[in-house]
Structure 1
């Protein structure tokens, strides 16, 4: 999965910004930029300006890469993009992270009428969040044993809970719960979540974001269907993995000389890698037209009781 070289060069190369406009990325050491394998050709890596930074406004050019490579996309009207940007900022502020900037952030709306993931970016705290792209997902479906309601909050993607990769094996019902072989499982660690069975209550679940069975379960993205994790399209999984969209802390370990088997050798990590996955509930009472539900044909691919893998 490689973006055109011209797009990558635009993403990595840019004129210097004034210091005030670079707030939130000035702390990135030049080594982190030089060692990023963002362009395929290492000689194309941007030369940092006098402040040691790459123009963060170039981060928005990832929209084109998203549009080229993520096959399951949602097209939100501008007003909806701004509304979700406000929800994102409110959630970050609630967790004392209102100043986050200079890095990509992923947000999931677990509302039953939405079921979507959005990627946002802003260069500085004073800027408005701008959407990079959006895709349908599936979050926790209550009503059955061991099914949790996907927890709300801000979750940090960190090597403290090391990611791993799918083996692509099928369960007894011929379901590949983590998707095809080599899909990355983004592990967010243990989280307190509402039990969706019995008398309810709160207990721990292992919170992950991952691909799902490509033939049977991916077509159902857009409705609640998991045991509590966030199921995402395979193409979005590859996009997040290849460009290191949420790999800021993984990249820091690599820059420090660590070797991490879960990271592919041909990855092209962006200079604005982030670390936060935010889960909100918009409270919508009706499904918006930009987030269509799966049709009857998609549901027919999954016989009742066979989708037991998360």
Structure 2
């Protein structure tokens, strides 16, 4: 909770009403996602969570998932996994229909270098191969994105946890309506912020 509050404060972001935050701890010993109900005038509450995989160090082409607050807005259109296999017979984004949340281009440390050199990655929140890679959640394994389970993907998607802007946009733009689940039940506390922290690092 304290690290999440500090991250919001560092970006000069305030919680002005009850809202859900999706918080990821990239600490290699943690690799967790928690959903927090944040309120300006009451204690914050954790309402659920699960294991994730973030960026893996020491492997060429793999970036360290950056920390900070990343906004999910209608400036970028999300998409859904096609469920196709790559050359290694892996469905990198999970089963067909799994939601892919797109947070745009961000700066991240190149995990295969020791000098802290950075590069640009497309930060995504997405499911992973249900047969081969989902069992590895809980350990760093991604190229820099945040991998989640199919169950968590479905939960965030069905209840629109990060879709505050998307629901508003869908009222006027059919392309946003097409991304959202037709059977969704949007929460009244929908938010737009993915907060990535690292509990292995000292708090500033």
TM-score using structure 1 length: 0.62
Aligned residue in 2 for 1:220: 136
Q: What is the rounded CA distance, in whole Å, between the counterparts of 1:248 and 1:113 in structure 2? A: 31
1:179: Cα distance to partner?
0.4
Write the deviation string for residues 56-92 of structure 1: whole angstroms up to 9, x where unpaired. Answer: xxxxxxxxxxxxxxxxxxxxxxxxxxxxx22211111
Aligned residue in 2 for 1:293: none
Q: What is the rounded CA distance, in whole Å, between the counterparts of 1:234 and 1:150 in structure 2? A: 20
1:224: Cα distance to partner?
0.2
What is the number of equivalent residue pairs in this alignment? 199
Write the deviation string for residues 39-71 of structure 1: whole angstroms up to 9, x where unpaired. Answer: xxxxxxxxxxxxxxxxxxxxxxxxxxxxxxxxx
Q: What is the rounded CA distance, in whole Å, between the counterparts of 1:194 and 1:212 in structure 2? A: 22
Q: Which has the higher contact order (CA 8 A, sep 6+)?
A: 2
Q: 1:279 aligns with which of 193, 196, 199?
A: 196
Matches within 5 A, 1:148-187: 148-187=63-102
Greater share of residues in strand: 2
Aligned residue in 1 for 2:180: 263
Matches within 5 A, 1:1-310: 85-122=1-38, 124-198=39-113, 199-255=115-171, 257-259=172-174, 260=176, 261-283=178-200
Aligned residue in 2 for 1:300: none
Q: What is the rounded CA distance, in whole Å, between the counterparts of 1:90 and 1:170 in structure 2? A: 40
Write the deviation string for residues 255-307 of structure 1: whole angstroms up to 9, x where unpaired. Answer: 3x2212111221111111100000000017xxxxxxxxxxxxxxxxxxxxxxx
Aligned residue in 2 for 1:301: none
Q: What is the rounded CA distance, in whole Å, between the counterparts of 1:101 and 1:212 in structure 2? A: 33
Q: What is the rounded CA distance, in whole Å, between the counterparts of 2:108 and 2:129 in structure 1? A: 24
Write the deviation string for residues 155-187 of structure 1: whole angstroms up to 9, x where unpaired. Answer: 001121211000001111111000010000010
1:200: Cα distance to partner?
4.2
For structure 2, list consecutive stretches of 5 or more residues without a partner in the other structure: none
Alignment RMSD (CA, Å): 1.5
Q: What is the rounded CA distance, in whole Å, between the counterparts of 2:152 and 2:186 in structure 1? A: 15
SS class of match (1:235) = helix
Contact kept in structure 2, 1:101 and 1:121, CA below 8 Å:
no
